[in-house]
Amino acid sequence: MKPGSTLAACAALVRRDLTLVWRRRGDAANPILFALIVVALFPLALGPEPEQLRRIAAGVVFVAILLAGLLALDTLFRSDYEDGSLEQLVLSPHPLSLLLACKIAVHWLTTALPLIVVSPLLGELLHLAAPLRGLLPLALLLATPLLSLLGAVCVALTVGMHRSGMLLALLVLPLYVPVLIFGAGACNAAQAGLPFAAPLLWLGAALVLVLVLAPLACAAALRISLS
Amino acid sequence: MNALTLWFHKTGSPPTAYRLAGRIMPWCYGLGLVLGLVALYGGLVLAPRDYQQGDAYRIIFIHVPCAWMGLFAYFFMAANAFIALVWRIKLSEVLAMAAAPVGAAFTFITLVTGSLWGKPMWGTWWTWDARLTSELVLLFLYLGVIGLHAAIEDRRQAARAAGFLALIGVVNIPIVHFSVNWWNTLHQGSTVRLMGPSKIDGSMIWPLLLMALATHVWFFGSVLARTRIGLLELDGGKDWVRAIALGETEARA
Query: What is d(CA B101, CA B107) in angstroms, rounded to the nearest whole number?
Result: 10
Q: Nearest by CB to A174, which of B141, B148, B160?
A: B141
If contacts are CB pairs under 8 Å, which of residues 60-119 in chain B contact chain A?
Answer: none
- B54: enclosing H helix or E strand: none
Q: Does A177 touch chain B (CB under 8 A)?
A: yes
Mean pLDDT of chain B: 84
Band of residue B194 on the pLDDT scale cut at 50, 70, 90: very low
CA distance A160 to chain B (A): 9
Q: What is the pLDDT of residue B184?
A: 66
Q: Nearest by CB to A181, which of B152, B165, B179?
A: B179
Q: Once rounded to an integer, what is the mean pLDDT over residues B26-47?
A: 89
Band of residue B59 on the pLDDT scale cut at 50, 70, 90: confident
Least confident piece of the model among A88-97, B22-31, B44-53: B44-53
Query: What is d(CA A83, CA B146) in angstroms, rounded to the nearest whole number?
Result: 29
ipTM of the complex: 0.86
Q: Once rounded to an integer, what is the mean pLDDT over residues B213-221?
A: 93
Per-residue exposure over A64-94, b if at least 16 CB sit within 10 Å of its own CB, e if not: bbbbbbbbbbebbbeebbeeeebeebeeeeb
Give the distance, in angstroms, between the CA of residue B42 and the centroid of all CA atoms in the same chain: 23
| B164 interaction partners in chain A (CB closer than 8 Å) | 157, 217, 220-221, 224
Q: What is the pLDDT of residue B83?
A: 92
Query: What is d(CA A64, CA A84) in angstroms, rounded to the nearest whole number?
Result: 32
Q: What is the pLDDT of residue A192?
A: 86
Q: What is the pLDDT of residue B191?
A: 39
Q: Nearest by CB to A167, which of B151, B176, B187?
A: B151
- Count chain A–chain B contacts defined by CB atoms under 8 A: 72
Q: Does A169 touch chain B (CB under 8 A)?
A: no
Of residues B154 and B54, the one with the higher pLDDT is B154
> Domain map of chain B by residue range?
60-236
Band of residue B198 on the pLDDT scale cut at 50, 70, 90: low
Query: What is d(CA B137, CA B175) in angstroms, rounded to the nearest whole number?
Result: 11
Q: Does B140 touch chain A (CB under 8 A)?
A: yes
Band of residue B200 on the pLDDT scale cut at 50, 70, 90: low
Binned average pLDDT, 10 residues per bin, chain A of 227 residues:
84 93 87 93 90 90 94 89 90 93 94 93 90 90 95 91 83 91 89 88 94 94 88
Q: Does B243 touch chain A (CB under 8 A)?
A: no
Q: Once rounded to an integer, what is the mean pLDDT over residues B240-246?
A: 85
Per-residue exposure over A146-157, b if at least 16 CB sit within 10 Å of its own CB, e if not: bbbbbbbbbbbb
Q: What is the pLDDT of residue A195?
A: 86
| B172 interaction partners in chain A (CB closer than 8 Å) | 174-175, 178
CB distance A194–B186 less than 8 Å?
yes
Q: How many residues are present in chain B?
A: 253
Chain B interface disruption, residue of A157, A172, A210, most B CBs within 10 A: A157
Residue type (1 letter), B35: L
Query: What is d(CA B240, CA B213) in angstroms, rounded to the nearest whole number?
Result: 34
Chain A interface disruption, residue of B179, B184, B187, most A CBs within 10 A: B179
- Scanning every residue of chain B, which has its alpha carbon at the shortest distance from the alpha carbon of A154? B165
| A177 interaction partners in chain B (CB closer than 8 Å) | 137, 176, 179-180
Q: Does A165 touch chain B (CB under 8 A)?
A: no
Query: What is d(CA B99, CA B95) in angstroms, rounded to the nearest whole number?
Result: 6
If contacts are CB pairs under 8 Å, which of residues 144-163 in chain A contact chain B?
Answer: 153-154, 157-158, 160-161
The 10s digit of each residue's pLDDT in B111-166 is 999 888 888 877 888 888 777 888 899 999 999 999 999 988 888 889 999 999 99
Query: What is d(CA B15, CA A173) in angstroms, rounded to the nearest whole number?
Result: 39
CB distance B186–A185 less than 8 Å?
yes
Q: What is the pLDDT of residue A45?
A: 92
| A185 interaction partners in chain B (CB closer than 8 Å) | 182-183, 186
Q: What is the pLDDT of residue B186?
A: 46
Q: How many residues are present in chain A?
A: 227
CB-based burial label for B122 (10 Å; 0-12, 13-18, 19+): middle
Q: Does B195 touch chain A (CB under 8 A)?
A: no
Q: What is the pLDDT of residue B188?
A: 41
CA dihedral B125, B129, B134, B140 (to 10 degrees): 30
